């Protein structure tokens, strides 16, 4: 399967809820948003009734994209509080994800800023600069999660990693994410 190269994206994926995805994303945002503008994106296949302080910015069949207007308790609101220039929440299933991604890039990120994204499925569609997978070893992984682990640049243990150690390994040059070379 061909994955579109998107080096301006970091994707954080995981084996399930409460493994530390948002914790890692907010640490990345805090560290890099002081150096340059960046966007944050949360992708979910589930419809959310309570979205926090948001406005609908794009919609199409099977797709809703919301922009956060201020910090709130949901993941994307936490991204804004951590320092993202803008934060978005995308509701879409795997079938509509390619179109949703195109809409996001065209309507929400026309400036092609670096993006820190929390998503379970986007890493299967695009090849980001960095794909981080956070895994809870007590959970039985579905086939799609196993595929994401195979694609991941880094696999972290759930709730027992130090984001500061990870941050020292990550760089962003010309808006493209990468790793530092060991010295």
Q: What is the CATH number of the domain that holds 161?
A: 3.40.50
The whole-number pLDDT of residue 182 equals 61
The whole-number pLDDT of residue 50 equals 63
Is the whole model's pTM more than 0.85, yes or no?
A: yes
Number of domains in the chain: 1
53: containing domain: 4-179
The whole-number pLDDT of residue 53 equals 80
The whole-number pLDDT of residue 151 equals 92
**Neighbouring residues of 5: CB distance < 8 A, sequence distance ≥ 6:** 126, 127
d(CA 90, CA 170): 25
- Tokens 């949360």 sit on residue: 42
What does pLDDT average to in each consecutive run of 10 residues of the chain (183 residues)? 92 90 96 97 81 86 92 80 95 96 97 96 96 84 81 92 93 94 61
């Amino acid at each position: 399967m061909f994955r579109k190269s998107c080096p301006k994206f970091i994707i954080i994926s995981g084996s399930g809820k409460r493994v530390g995805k948002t914790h890692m994303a907010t640490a990345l945002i805090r560290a890099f948003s002081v150096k340059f503008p960046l966007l944050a994106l949360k992708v979910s296949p589930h419809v959310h009734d309570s979205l926090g302080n948001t406005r609908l910015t794009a919609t199409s069949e099977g797709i809703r994209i919301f922009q956060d207007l201020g910090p709130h308790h949901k993941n994307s609101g936490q991204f804004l509080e951590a320092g993202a220039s803008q934060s978005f929440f995308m509701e879409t299933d795997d079938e509509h994800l390619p179109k949703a991604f195109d809409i996001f890039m065209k309507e929400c990120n026309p400036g092609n800023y670096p993006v820190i994204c929390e998503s379970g499925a986007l890493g299967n569609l695009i090849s980001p600069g960095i794909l981080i997978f956070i895994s809870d070893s007590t959970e039985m992984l579905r086939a799609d999660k196993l595929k994401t682990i195979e694609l991941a640049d880094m696999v972290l243990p759930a709730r027992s990693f130090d984001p500061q150690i990870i941050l020292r390994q990550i760089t962003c040059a010309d808006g493209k994410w990468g790793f530092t070379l060991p010295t």
